Structure 1
């Protein structure tokens, strides 16, 4: 080995070590610069890697490193679905063919409701009963029978007041208390509501919707509460019968013997004429948001 070669070999090793140190220092500086850039919200600059070998995962966007405010934490909130409030009650129902609905208000009454239920069962017909909570409290067994025989029970308030003269809180109490006792005695909460005397206002529609009920009025009023005579009641039902009509009668609130006798007369005649007596399905519609 010559003198020049002996001097060149150690120098080459020193150069290699120095180059490695510089490269390591550069990588460390680049890593520190990347952290600083990340904290500053900038895209970090990463050293180029050889094309061969495993590729690193793609860096997250800078926004992923930032702390989010507490109000924005968690999954996005979904707007609740709320029932659409109607501005008027249903006056008739849609149905196939010559279908109509028989409704009875103000009960149940131990003197008259059982006879009406007997006639409906004889002809295998379902009807709607808009009950008052205070009457339900005295005749819970009749509510169980209505449920067993497939009739639909609606809310007619607790004490049958004129709702348009009550405060919003009183209206809600009349409705909600009746919903509770119907649930207790019938087995489910009512899907339909009818205002006493047919006196509706904005509060009745809003509160009824909040309690999950649709408003149903009537098409044919028998005026049986005035005791006009059995034949008059029968004539009003037969004359007013048409597809989709809702017939209003009463099974409580006074002497309802004419109503009982009239049902026995007009029900078989309606069926013989090709009418199908049915009960409606709730027509709840919904809107998004509050």
Structure 2
């Protein structure tokens, strides 16, 4: 036998062996997919030996709509709130930025009018609410959420925290967090001690509940009902970048606060101030 003929036969035999192995492998693989849940064979139409393999269209399924968990984005590290020793008095921001805050509400006699003025000038503010007041008017908290205002925790019943035990302070804060979350849609990220009376327990518990302590820079003293013009003058004279203004929308007759806002807000905007809400800073 000539050398060329021998080489041709060997190559032909090798191709036959490889084709047979491929056929056995294909049959074994097909067997893995035709077994039903009860491990009994399921008859299927044989696929052609030659040509491209016919594929059945995939049916929609919940599984196919879900991303593989192994390839999802890494979980973010939980953000930690610092335990401060003093409350924040000012806010950082670009340019002439100011923050307006209102305490003790919501009160149906005054809060809606304040919200109306803020909406008229497309300004957002902060409302430090008392839990017992919020529980009575959850609709006002829902409106604050819809209009982009920030709701903070001002305790449940406005007590002097320095006279309470740690457990009592926690109860005052937690109950208010719960009612704010229910009515506003999320838990508060800021808190303010009634009367500005802070202590170590207040700072620690506030941080444990994920809240930053915010005080104020300018106190309008509107709770003393000094007159609308006096309130307006205090805001205008104290206006400066980063200033936090304290006013009230409950806790007494707040009609002067309502009228004063209508006077000083457009003047602040005309003076180039950007009245907005602060952003949280996490550790």
Which runs of structure 1 show a deviation greater than 4 angstroms over 4 or more consecutive aligned residues? 79-82
Please give the alpha-carbon distance, in whole angstroms, between the structure 1 residues aligned to 2:115 and 2:82. Answer: 34
Does the C-alpha gap of structure 1 residues 272 and 158 become closer, same or farther in structure 2, counting only changes over 3 Å?
A: same
- The answer to whether structure 1 residue 86 and structure 2 residue 84 are counterparts is yes
In structure 2, the partner of 1:134 is 132
Q: What is the alpha-carbon distance in structure 1 between the residues aligned to residue 123 and residue 81 of structure 2?
A: 30
Give the alignment of 1:61-80 within 5 angstroms.
none
Do structure 1's residue 220 and structure 2's residue 199 form an aligned pair?
A: no
Question: Does the aligned pair in 1 maintain the 2:227–2:256 contact within 8 Å?
Answer: yes
Aligned to 1:125: 123
How do 1:1-290 and structure 2 match up within 5 A? 82-285=80-283
Deviation per CA, 1:125-147, whole angstroms, max 9, x where unpaired? 00000000000011111010000
| Distance in 2 (alpha carbons) for counterparts of 1:159 and 1:81 | 29
Matches of 1:105 and 1:80, distance apart in 2: 30
- Aligned-CA RMSD value: 1.2
Q: Could you list the per-position Cα deviations for residues 47-87 of structure 1 after superposition, in whole angstroms to 9, with x for gaps in the alignment?
A: xxxxxxxxxxxxxxxxxxxxxxxxxxxxxxxx987532110
Native 8 Å contact 1:214 1:284 kept in 2: no
Counterparts of 1:97 and 1:248, CA distance in 2: 21
Distance of 1:271 and 1:87 partners within structure 2: 34
Closer/same/farther in 2, CA of residues 173 and 122 from structure 1, 3 Å limit: same
Local SS of the residue matching 1:282: coil
| TM-score w.r.t. length of structure 1 | 0.70
For the pair shown, which has the larger CA radius of gyration, 1 or 2? Answer: 1
How far is 1:284 from its partner? 2.4
Specify every segment of 5 or more residues in structure 1 that has no aligned partner in the other structure, as ranges: 1-78, 286-290
